[in-house]
Amino acid sequence: MSRAHQMPAPPDAAQRRAAKAVVVYGVETLPPYDAAFYGTARANMAKVSEVIVPPREARVVEVPAGHVIRIVSVYGPQVGDLNLWNAHDLGERFFSGKTRAFHGTHVSTGDRLWSTLPALRPMATITHDTLGWYGWDADGGGIHDVIGTRCDPYTNVLLKGAEYHHCCHSNLTRALAAHRQMPLAQAEPHIHDVLNVFMCTGFTRDTHQYFMKASPVRPGDFIEFFAEIDLLAGLSACPGGDCGSSHSSDAARCYPLKIEIYRPRAEDLAGWRPAAVNGYSRSHGAG
């Protein structure tokens, strides 16, 4: 985006730009990531189910609290769009904006995926990430972003003048409708901004526009989440494939993704309880 139209800089422009950056949300008061607990929970867990998500499609699975969901790359590099809902209340869902504000633009082991207001609680905790080595590349790109929204047919019409019906938004809508046996029009409002699993993204240094590049994910790579509440998880195998060249089209080479559900041993969860809703008393404010 060009900034050539801006007004001339005032005499004290350098001073104004030199203001100290302050992190908005200090998260030091949140309970720290308990690596020992999650390590024990996953050490002896047993796989109870698995689902293959076909290319350019989505699937929704149930993940009971205290279970682990693992998203696995199979056959070739592929990114996915993840939605999470409270299994008992679709109105409580993944809050990508607050997750980003707490943990940064990209998430990995130890970060939590937070839910929408008024619950505002951890829905899931990332317990393992085989791409955690990637860090930040020379372009400023990272993996597993909570920046982007999701590819959708409305944007495709706006920018390309053409309808495309295998965008992640549409895929997730169909999958949720099928799982809950509800009409598409009823399911669609529940589709929300995503965690872009395996996707490599960032902001360009000159115009700060959102970019994507070929994901480093390879078969066998996975990211794993511990369910802090009873979840519905929806995953779309993005029509962009590894998102290295195109998006929302049938041109990219795409591969399936696999969802695996694991159950830890009961004794390894001793003392653990599902995450409680936020403690804010709504009677004391406008909320």
DSSP 8-state code for residue 35: H
Q: Is residue 94 part of a domain?
A: yes
Q: What pairing do the DSSP bridges indicate for beta strands 195-203 and 142-145?
A: antiparallel
Q: Is 151 exposed, middle or buried (0-12, 13-18, 19+ CB in 10 A)?
A: buried
| Rounded Cα distance, 141 and 61, in Å | 30
Tens digit of pLDDT for each residue in 221-238?
999 999 999 999 999 999
Residue 36: the pLDDT is 97
| Rounded Cα distance, 180 and 248, in Å | 26
Query: What's the order of all strands across the beta sheet hosting 257-263?
Result: 46-53, 257-263, 68-73, 222-227, 122-129, 112-114
Residue 285: the pLDDT is 58
Domains in the chain: how many in total?
1
Q: Is residue 72 part of a domain?
A: yes
Average pLDDT for 244-249: 84
pLDDT-above-90 percentage for the chain:
92
What phi and psi, each to the nearest 5 degrees, are found at residue 232? -105, 130
Average pLDDT for 233-251: 92
The answer to whether residues 60 and 82 touch, using CB atoms and an 8 Å cutoff, is no
Q: Is residue 92 part of a domain?
A: yes
Tens digit of pLDDT for each residue in 78-91?
999 999 999 999 99
**pLDDT of residue 287 exceeding 70:** no
Q: Is residue 106 part of a domain?
A: yes
What phi and psi, each to the nearest 5 degrees, are found at residue 258? -120, 135
| Rounded Cα distance, 168 and 56, in Å | 8
Tens digit of pLDDT for each residue in 20-74?
999 999 999 999 999 999 999 999 999 999 999 999 999 999 999 999 999 999 9
Tens digit of pLDDT for each residue in 1-35?
556 567 899 999 999 999 999 999 999 999 999 99
Q: Is residue 39 part of a domain?
A: no
Q: Is residue 207 part of a domain?
A: yes
Residue 134: the pLDDT is 98
Which domain does 172 fall in, by range? Answer: 51-266
Buried b (16+ CB within 10 A) or exposed e, 260-285: bbbbbeeebbeeeeebeeeeeeeeee
Average pLDDT for 184-189: 98
Q: Is residue 118 part of a domain?
A: yes
**pLDDT of residue 277 exceeding 70:** yes
Q: Is residue 66 part of a domain?
A: yes
| Rounded Cα distance, 165 and 76, in Å | 23
pLDDT-above-70 percentage for the chain:
97
